[in-house]
Amino acid sequence: MRNYSTDLTDSQWNAILNILQDFRKRKHSLREIFNAIFYLLKSGCQWRMLPHSFPSWKLVYYYFDKWKNDGTIEMIHELLRNITRKKAGKYESPSVGIIDSQSVKTTRSGGLCRGIDGGKKVKGRKRHIVVDTMGLIMCVVVHAANIHDSKSAQMVISELRGRFSRLVKIIADGGYRGELIENIKHAFGWIVEIVMCSDSEKKFEVLPKRWIVERTFAWFESYRRLSKDFEYHPSTSEAMIQLSMIRLMLNRIKK
């Protein structure tokens, strides 16, 4: 079988296998399936154009769709984030989150839930994420680009409910000003801190903590599948983003 640079190493595969705890023998191993998915994520190819050295694209897509719908991809992502944080000497639960969105174009075939972001002149969807101070994703919601950040933020932040016991503060930019601050305080007890550029500062300035979420968006550029939103369903887009972070975290904790 041909090897690709996107293939999992033995230690990386063992990290996933320890989470899955699935040792059943198959004609095509789950490791081959994951390698095919990571190849597609990195190269940006269509499902039908997966190289023949991988199992049938229909089988690979079957497992991807199954893992997306039954929460397996999300579970792997969550557990690997905990491992990555512990290896860095941090608690599993972050105390601070940073929220932001990224508007991306969809393809001509469109898909569900898309609109026009009038500010950025982008027709497509928004990737709305909350990250910790390491830039690791705490939650991701993909929605139509025409929904303003301040309107969709409460929906995004509500995904954090009951998952992070130490969370006390969420840092945001000026686009999240308004009633959101009081709504989040009332609903969840968390502080929303708005960090803005100084009016007197004309040149570029790095804002405290705000650069971290921008760096996470920059990490997405390593995966051609994320160069646009190619997916029909927003939930598939969310799964692709989680897979990109799984790959990144595996590279950090296992070689």
pLDDT tens string for the chain (255 positions)?
A: 578 999 999 999 999 999 999 888 888 999 999 999 999 999 999 999 999 999 999 999 999 999 999 999 999 999 999 999 999 999 999 999 999 999 999 988 778 888 998 888 999 999 999 999 999 999 999 999 999 998 899 999 999 999 999 999 999 998 898 899 999 999 999 999 998 765 555 554 556 688 999 999 999 999 999 999 999 999 999 999 999 999 999 999 876
Its sign, for the CA torsion 50, 51, 52, 53, is negative
- Residues 190, 147, single domain; the answer is yes
Domain-embedded: residue 77? no
Residue 79, in any domain of the structure:
no
Distances (CA, A) of 31 to 24, 125, 217: 12, 31, 27
> Do residues 123 and 223 both lie within one domain?
yes
Note whether 139 and 45 are same-domain residues: no
Integer Cα distance of 182 and 18 in angstroms = 42
Residue type, 225: R
Residue 38 lies in a domain: yes
Q: How many domains does the chain have?
A: 2
Which residues span the domain enclosing 21? 10-70
| Structure tokens that stand for 109 in this block | 């075939």
145 and 190: one domain? yes
Residue where a domain stops, chosen among 38, 70, 102: 70
125-147 exposure pattern, b = at least 16 Cβ within 10 A, e = fewer:
bbbbbbbbbbbbbbbbbbbbbbb
* 124 φ, ψ (degrees, to nearest 5): 165, -130
pLDDT of 254: 73
The per-residue pLDDT for 198 is: 58
For residues 60 and 101, membership in a common domain is answered with: no
Question: Is 249 among the domain residues?
Answer: no
Which residue do the tokens 């989150």 mark? 97
Which pLDDT belongs to residue 20? 94
**Pair 141, 205 in one domain:** yes
Written in H, E and C, the secondary structure of 55-77 is: CCHHHHHHHHHHHHHHCHHHHHH
Side-chain half-sphere of 248: how many Cα atoms within 13 Å?
21
